[in-house]
Structure 1
Amino acid sequence: MTTTLITGANKGIGYETAKQLLAAGHDVWMGARDPERGERTARELGGRFVQLDVTDDASVAAAVATVGALDVLINNAGIPGTLPSAHDLAPDSMRPMFEVNLFGLVRVTQAFLPALEKSAHPVIVNVTSGLGSLHLATDPESIASAFTPFAYGAAKAGVNMLTVQYAKALPHFRVNCVDPGFTATDFNGHQGTQTVQEGSEAAVRLAQIGPDGPTGGFFDRAGVLPW
């Protein structure tokens, strides 16, 4: 049985991804910061809860000890942050975004690498955003070009680059990033135009690829996305 860990799995894309992978036969660890909420949602789905705050070294180390063997890591945890104007942008306002969305991903990935190395077919899926695509951000036909999410876009662009670098450095892994698209979740006040089932499609698909599957790619539910 494939053992999978999903960070930020107590709601939204993470919750739905856990639900679909459990249905596909995965043994799913659902990571969440809040023990009460995380345990409740894991019971609802039949998954296993692990307390995991991606910004906390001790929490991540404890999660590694709890989870043990691992085949698939889905780095889903993230925060939307604020949308300051160009005149109001400041380093301090950007730090929380990078701490969760970028540095948290590195912290969790590095901590679980030894467990993943022991898997016959290790897979990493990084949940990113089209807002981190330089191509889409400058394409007037793309919805991504209509926003100026300074910190969020920069952090997700970092996730995209990290994905490429991990894929090159770990050729026996399958490492990809996925864009859920504009999905109705708490993340955007449920303003998204896609269902959470649609938004989870790419993560679910990439979590189940075999050793001959793609690596170092950027995907959404429709296929390959431009960087």
Structure 2
Amino acid sequence: MLVHHSTRLIVAPLARLLFRPTVEGRAHVPRRGPVILAANHISALDSIIIPLVAPRPVAFLAKQEYYLRPGLKGRVLRTCLTGVDAIPVPRAGYRSAQAALELALDVLARGRAFGIHPEGSRSRDGRIYRGRTGVAWLALTSGAPVVPVAVLGTDRIQPVGARLPRPGRITVRFGPPLRFAAPDGRPGGALRRTATDEIMAAIRTLSGQEPAAHYNEFSAG
């Protein structure tokens, strides 16, 4: 934990210098207890920037292969992921949706904040895609509130395929928490779909993105 804290002390000021983030709605994030931060996904930077500007630590899952990349890009990525307490997940586990959700559920059971991109993969065209229902399963199973989050500008700073980010301005907006409850304690499929659509609508309201009516099928996250 000391290593993570020390790394964060380096990464956070550097991020503020390079990206000059504007942060809106931080008061919407509960300071204690389990909470899910559900965000749009337009750049690899998203899951690094959100924990740096949130009012409390936020854990995202990160593919273990990110920690193994060679060269300067690999070192920068490892430093950033370590600084934001990302949780490395083996490739097979990452691709197993239920295995990833169980890891997330454990984070929430310990009263922590967990970040998730319901779209799955990054948007290549700027639209916001249909959300996958894992986010609703987490909310309904854990009872944790969901804070919708919109990140803007990261797609210009580090678009898909870019080796390293470039300086620029980023905006992060946190919306009011959403709460969901399964009537019989079991999050059925129809309820998960309805809750997920509500979460995505809240994110879209914050981001102003044009909606896509289908899932984002790109495999890269």
TM-score by length of 2: 0.43
TM-score by length of 1: 0.42
